[in-house]
Amino acid sequence: MGSQFVDFNADGHVDYLSATFDGSPHISYGSKGGFNEPVRLKDAQGQRILISSYWDYDERAHLKTDRALSKGNAPAERCISALAFDWDGDGDNDLLLGSYEKGHLYRQMNEGTNKEPKFTGKNLAVMAGKQPFALPAKMTTPRLVDWDGDGDMDLVAGSFGDSFGQSSVGGGVYLSRNNGAKGKPAFGKLETLIAPSAKGMTAPTRPDAGLYPEVVDYDGDGDLDLVVGGYSLWTPKGRELNAKEKAKVTALRAQLAALTGRRSKLLRKISAEVTEATVGLDPKSKEWRAKVKPIRAKYRPVEEERLAVSKQLKALVPGPQRRSFVWLYERL
């Protein structure tokens, strides 16, 4: 989820606008007593605002709809970021909606006011130069900031990259300058602020994937720095092993592979047993849980054995690490 603090409904209190992986923007309205419970933003027709993919809480499934895009058969894109932005300069907040999968940015116009918004329910593509705005390798969140000090809002956005692989390309941070005028923003081609990580380090040296940027004069020196959340992926350099230790590593790796295979088979077996044992039962019922518990209990001993071997192996050969932090990139 990205975060924007903005007086969305113009009541004099700062609100908290966000969007999550359920595919829709949510807002926590501020008040004298603090933030209220977040609610989902809706369009003028009373429907939840989205791009195309969304999590349906009733169906408990990811579904897709074409209703918010002008062309039918819309690609599956999930809105995981939202920003309030007066696109057309008419004094009310329109919405920018960021797509996870394609890194696209859409705008949805507000034909009402801030106090009584009427979002159209239709998304229009935001362009970057002559092409639709499209961040490479999936977008985390865009931010609005006057990067170049020319009085209008530019876009800074982060990308995910591969959030798991230790050697594939990671995420970066990009700038798209607004070269337009008030009420007619025109965003330019992407400039790379933080190049995508090549990964492969032996220590955490930077956010490698899932880069969520914030733009702020962090150190108070008059220029804009980046505060970036994200995952670092690294593999510590191990010590030199003697012959006996090397042999043990070989044996442990074989043992681990066998146990991992055994675990996979067991998981398939457990899944089949659960299905068979719970036919006709409500997954929320006590009966369902009573049937499932002893079946799932078979998993723990195998997994514990596997983890014990893995621990022995890691003591000799450090394994790949993946951990999230928040980093400061101080502007030079």
Partner 1 sequence: MPRETIPDGSFYMRVATLQSLTLALAGCVVLFSPRGVAQTDVETTIRFAPPKRIMAGDVFLGENRLYPSPAMHDVNGDGRADIVIGDLFGKVTVAPHTGKPMSYGAEEEVKDREGEQLKFHNW
Distance of alpha carbon 143 from its chain centroid, rounded?
A: 14
Is residue 57 close enough to count as binding partner 1 by CB under 8 A? yes
Cβ-based nearer residue to partner 1, 218 or 299: 218
Is residue 321 close enough to count as binding partner 1 by CB under 8 A? no
Among residues 203, 134, 140, 202, the alpha carbon closest in space to that of 170 is found at 140
Residues binding partner 1: what is the number (CB under 8 A)?
Answer: 77
CA 8 to CA 117: how far, in whole Å? 10
**Which 161-190 positions form the footprint of partner 1 (CB under 8 A)?**
161-163, 168-172, 174-175, 188-190
**Which 191-230 positions form the footprint of partner 1 (CB under 8 A)?**
191-196, 204-207, 210, 212, 214, 216, 218-220, 225-230
Distance of alpha carbon 86 from its chain centroid, rounded?
A: 24
- The per-residue DSSP string of 258-303 comes to HHHHHHHHHHHHHHHHHHHHTTT--TTSHHHHHHHHHHHTTHHHHH
Among residues 147, 149, 173, the alpha carbon closest in space to that of 160 is found at 173
Cβ-based nearer residue to partner 1, 17 or 252: 17
Among 11, 38, 125, 299, binds partner 1 (CB under 8 A): 38
Mask of contacts with partner 1, 127-146, x by CB under 8 A?
--------xxx--xx-----
**Which 8-37 positions form the footprint of partner 1 (CB under 8 A)?**
14, 16, 18, 20-22, 26, 28, 31, 33-37
Cα-Cα end-to-end distance for the chain? 29
Is residue 47 close enough to count as binding partner 1 by CB under 8 A? no
Query: Min. distance of Cβ 41 from partner 1 in angstroms?
Result: 12
